Amino acid sequence: MWSKLTVNMKKLTVTKDKIEEDLAELGGRSLIAQYMIKRIPPQCDPLGSQNRVVICTGLFAGTKLTTAHRLSIGSKSPLTGGIKESNSGGNAAYQMANQGIKMIEVLDVPEESGLWILHIGADGNATLKDAAIYKGVNNYEFAEAMKETYGDNCAVISIGCAGERLYKNASIQITEFKSGHPSRAAARGGIAAVLGSKGLKAVVIEEPSEKFKVTYADETKFKEVCLQLNKVIAEGAKTDPFSIIGTVATTDISGASGILPVDNFSGKFFGDYEKVGAQAFLDKLKSGGGKNKISCQPGCVVHCSNCYNDPNGNYITSGFEYETIALFGPNCHISDLDAIARMDRLCDDIGVDTMETANSIAVCMDAGKIEWGDIPAVMGLLNELKEGTEFGNLLGQGCEAVGLHLGCKRIPVVKHQSMAGYDPRNTKGTGITYATSPMGADHTAGLTMGRAFDDAGRTGQAYASGKLQVAMCFADSMMCLFAFAHAVPVLPLLGELMAALYGGTSDFTRVATMGVTTLLTERGYNQMAGMTAKDDRLPEFFYTDRSPATGSVFDINDLELEVLFDF
């Protein structure tokens, strides 16, 4: 039976129990939705005692299903004011599963200020340890200290100075498989600030001396179906640009089509997009002795991650992704990959969301605070964020706060969260997802890369967004989205896996219903938190300012958005 840990930060206690029956056959995003609707008051203060943080594994954790060890972290978001599930790769969910732990819940706030580490030892004992000596220590130094203390195979989930300062753009960093770099991020929504408010610096999970054994309803059947599914995903990954190159491959498509955000979502083309595209990225890896085709978690067959070095062969960052490159790059009018890599490293180290932070920098440029493409000025602002200056603290409140303070006309946010690296005028299905997802402007909730122009496939894109949002809900409950993309031709196998592991029906509707239920639960939570239909809209400039690249505006009307989830 899977266990859960309850960490009470007021009492400074840790208890271990069996997972509750209503959560036992859930995982990831689906578990977080059902946990939050029943246990976290929707109108609570995100940084107050009633809010909680949930850290959990996916549906198939502990098994041989490829990418089954995604980590999901959920809470009421200080940034959006609604439900938030943020997930990540890395080795933490793998070590949680090895320990037989499906979920960690973090409750209440300390009576006195302090900082603690939740340590889960090789013997399975979980305790809170005083972490006062690590106050202000950022993620790279902290991860190294934990490896020195607990061994190279320990998993670390940590916050940097940004989370300690309660920045609304603060990310939770997770160590990557093998390298141990804290470069995998549960980044969106500022959940790290909630951990900071509770005084929890980190969760450190040792490799257990005795590995937990998963109980199957039909182990033979599970192994048979799992092998079949893994083979399909591995075969698809052979020709997947994400596997061959990395997610930076997206730049070649988005840059040519006008989907790539340029100069704070101006809608223009970026003539130098190839300088931050796939071939430039591969050339940089080769010249610096870096590497792609790395797996961020054990057993992954997609291996989309990477290790990026400077020209002298010195490590800069890893898990260097399209979103970071697009938003610190063309959206800030920068085409220097080495510089963007340094920005990524600094963000991971202090623990801030690269998307929220890069959009904030672009808004600063648009408002005239710094010049377009000024790399030293960008590093200066990031260092202000690190040092906690007056303007650095403002940057920590997110893109919308910065834009309003500077009087910027273009502030690319939905539900107070900034957009990912896709201009919604030129991929309208993604724009619909940005507008209507309970998570705010989140591309992973349903990225369509649909047609660009005003008269092209509006109904089709709304349909695609709705279907994808449901699909992403159950994908985020069980595996990496990149692996899931290759599983689509054989989706009924997921129903068979569920039955072989948990028992019951093997009908795929069991999985699909989980997606619908999760999405509607999240929307219901946000409504109880005070959100209305007005929160399901893009900023006005996307409707009125035509994209110079394509001539398109976001012309999806309110009714189309309001009926999207009338299933």
Burial string for 538-548 (b: 16+ CB within 10 Å, else e) reads: bbebbeebebe
Burial track 104-132 (b if 16+ CB lie within 10 A, e otherwise): bbbbbbbeeeebbbbbbbbebebebeebe
CA 149 to chain centre: 28
Which amino acid belongs to residue 228? Q
Q: Please determine, for residue 335, whether its predicted confidence score (pLDDT) is greater than 70.
A: yes
Percent of the chain whose predicted confidence (pLDDT) is above 90: 95
For 192-206, the three-class secondary structure string (H helix, E strand, C coil) is HHHHHHCCEEEEEEC
pLDDT of residue 452: 45
Cα–Cα dist 479/467, whole Å: 18
Least confident among 120-124, 157-161, 462-466: 462-466
At residue 43, does pLDDT exceed 90? Answer: yes
Contact call for residues 23 and 98 (beta carbons, < 8 A): no
For residue 458, what pLDDT is reported? 65
Look at domain 216-241+424-567 and name its CATH class. mainly alpha
> 3-class secondary structure for 508-552?
CHHHHHHHHHHHHHHHHHHHHHCCCHHHCCCCHHHHHCCCCCCCC
pLDDT over 70 for what percent of the chain? 98
Pairwise CA distance, residues 2 & 350, whole Å: 33
State the DSSP string of 62-124: TSSSTT---EEEEEE-TTTSSEEEEEE-SSHHHHHHHTTEEEEEEES--SS---EEEEE-TTS
Which stretch of DSSP H or E encloses residue 139?
helix 139-150
d(CA 436, CA 89): 25
Residue 454 pLDDT greater than 70, yes or no: no
At 47 the pLDDT is 98
Q: What is the pLDDT of residues 392-420, one digit of tens each?
A: 999 999 999 999 999 999 999 999 999 99
Buried b / exposed e over 78-95, threshold 16 CB at 10 Å, is bbbbbbbbbbbbbbbbbb
CATH number of 246-374: 1.10.569.10
Q: Which stretches does DSSP call E strand in 159-256?
A: 172-174, 184-186, 200-205
Angular region, 551: left φ>0, alpha ψ -120 to 50, beta rest = left
* pLDDT attached to residue 566: 85
Phi then psi for 99, rounded to 5 degrees? -85, -5
For 158-206, write each residue's pLDDT tens digit.
Answer: 999 999 999 999 999 999 999 999 999 999 999 999 999 999 999 999 9
7's enclosing H/E stretch is strand 3-8
3-205: CATH superfamily: Aldehyde ferredoxin oxidoreductase, N-terminal domain (3.60.9.10)
Read off the tokens for 289.
Answer: 């002795």
The pLDDT value recorded for residue 567 is 75
- Ranges of each domain in the chain: 3-205, 216-241+424-567, 246-374
The yes-or-no verdict on residue 516 having pLDDT over 50 is: yes
Which pairs count as long-range contacts for 363-371, CB under 8 Å and 24+ apart, including other chains?
363/264, 363/399, 363/402, 363/403, 363/406, 363/408, 363/410, 363/411, 364/402, 364/406, 365/263, 365/264, 365/332, 365/333, 366/263, 366/264, 366/408, 366/409, 366/410, 367/403, 367/406, 367/407, 367/408, 369/406
Provide mean pLDDT across the span 259-288. 97
pLDDT tens for each residue of 47-70: 999 999 999 999 999 999 999 999
Tens digit of pLDDT for each residue in 291-329? 999 999 999 999 999 999 999 999 999 999 999 999 999
Residue 528 has pLDDT above 50, yes or no: yes
Give the dihedral of Cα atoms 72, 202, 169, 80; nearest 10 deg.
50
For the stretch 506-515, pLDDT in tens is: 999 999 999 9
At 196-255, the pLDDT tens digits run 999 999 999 999 999 999 999 999 999 999 999 999 999 999 999 999 999 999 999 999
Beta-carbon contacts of 239 under 8 Å, excluding residues fewer than 6 positions away, are none
